Homo-oligomer: A and B are copies of this chain.
Amino acid sequence: MKLTISRNELNEAVQHVSKAVAARTTIPILSGIKIDAVEHGVTLTASDTDISIQSFIPTEMQDRRIVTVHRGGSVVLPAKFFVEIIRKLPNEEVLLEVGERFQTSITSGAIDIQLVGLDPEEFPILPILEEDRVFSISGDQLKSMIRQTVFAVTTNESTPILTGVLWSLQDGVFKFVATDRHRLATCSIRSDVGEELKFSNVVISGKTLGELSKIIPDQDELVDIVVADNQVLFKLGNVLFYTRMLDGTFPDTTRIIPTSFRTELILSTKALSEAIDRAYLLSREEKTNIVRLSTTESGGIEISSSSSELGRVQEQLTVTELKGDPLRIAFNSKYMLDVLKVVDSEKLFIGFTGAMSPIIIKPEQEDSLHLILPYRTTN
């Protein structure tokens, strides 16, 4: 293998695939990045066997020469060092040449690097997926749906299925659900795929979705999603992102979401967020994060928290609308703040069905819905 390549494009591709390099592995080949050079371009691949990322660099882009392949071939280079040195090369052009026993030289200006390469034959082969269930969604929408839900997955490995986000596509509605049994986040959009395309119980690790989110470009481009038997593939321009689905059955959560309420509230997202943040400061010291919300006689609400050691915080909030029964409820303020952080709309709806029943939070004009279980307190 011998090729000349533009540093900027090489660097971008290397940064993308680096997210799939196994951080701690006993299999040396997985700590590397595979480079394949053929006549029409260079492909970089990294895989920790759960996720795999592949980035293709074509020989030309917008009439500009990016890669010249003098001799085709493959090699695996140690990722950690390779990723950083490519980022720190000052010159525009890099010459890569693989010699005997995968010894690789990287030359750029007055810099000469000799790297011990590994045999590309040992590198895992990416699966070939059946492409009969494929649909497209805008990158911005996908990022937003991930952001609206991923914070609610559990970090507790004893229920592995809940470390993931449930995806389903039914009657043209594409939906995400995440829950850690104390709270639940859902988000859905209407997709323009035909009704014959559907799937359910596709569960993708929250951590993986976090990584995917980072490499979805900021420009609003379409992402193609291929749903195969136990893998999902995302096509983002020249980047392919493969992930395994999580094994197991995601619990049915549809029945725990109340549809009618005894107390309904519409208020400013920012005002509520700031008030709960202040009450949280005190509740945090108690390690419980418990904050109370009560309706007041004047038709507003009061947010409060108390600590036996420090004292208490109490704050009156005016609301846009308050309907139904008077209420006094306690909840984990951290969970509420997590929700308020992802709500982009100026106002939101909160529905209650009593002090012991789920709290429902719905942003105005957004297709997301959040549920938080209250604390059962006696005072």
Does chain B have a CB within 8 A of A78? Answer: yes
Task: Find out whether the CB atom of A281 lies under 8 angstroms from the CB atom of B84.
Answer: yes
Most chain B CB within a 10 A radius of its CB, from A81, A104, A114, A317? A81
Interface set, chain A 80-122, CB cutoff 8 A to B = 80-81, 84-85, 88-90, 103-104, 110-116
**Cβ of A113: which chain B residues have Cβ within 8 Å of it?**
311-314
**Cβ of A110: which chain B residues have Cβ within 8 Å of it?**
315-317
Does chain B have a CB within 8 A of A310? Answer: yes
The CA of A113 and the CA of B303, in the complex, are separated in Å by 12
**Cβ of A116: which chain B residues have Cβ within 8 Å of it?**
309-311
**Cβ of A229: which chain B residues have Cβ within 8 Å of it?**
none
Does chain B have a CB within 8 A of A39? Answer: no
Does chain B have a CB within 8 A of A334? Answer: no
The CA of A313 and the CA of B107, in the complex, are separated in Å by 10
Q: How far is the CB of A336 from chain B (nearest CB, A)?
A: 16
Beyond contacts A111-B314, A113-B312, A115-B310: 18 other A-B pairs, Cβ-Cβ < 8 A, are A81-B282, A81-B310, A84-B281, A85-B281, A85-B282, A88-B274, A88-B277, A88-B281, A103-B311, A104-B311, A110-B317, A111-B278, A112-B313, A113-B313, A114-B312, A116-B309, A116-B310, A116-B311
The CA of A89 and the CA of B315, in the complex, are separated in Å by 11
Interface string of A283-316 (1 = CB under 8 A from B): 0010000000000000000000000011111111
**Cβ of A316: which chain B residues have Cβ within 8 Å of it?**
110
The CA of A313 and the CA of B88, in the complex, are separated in Å by 13
The CA of A72 and the CA of B90, in the complex, are separated in Å by 64
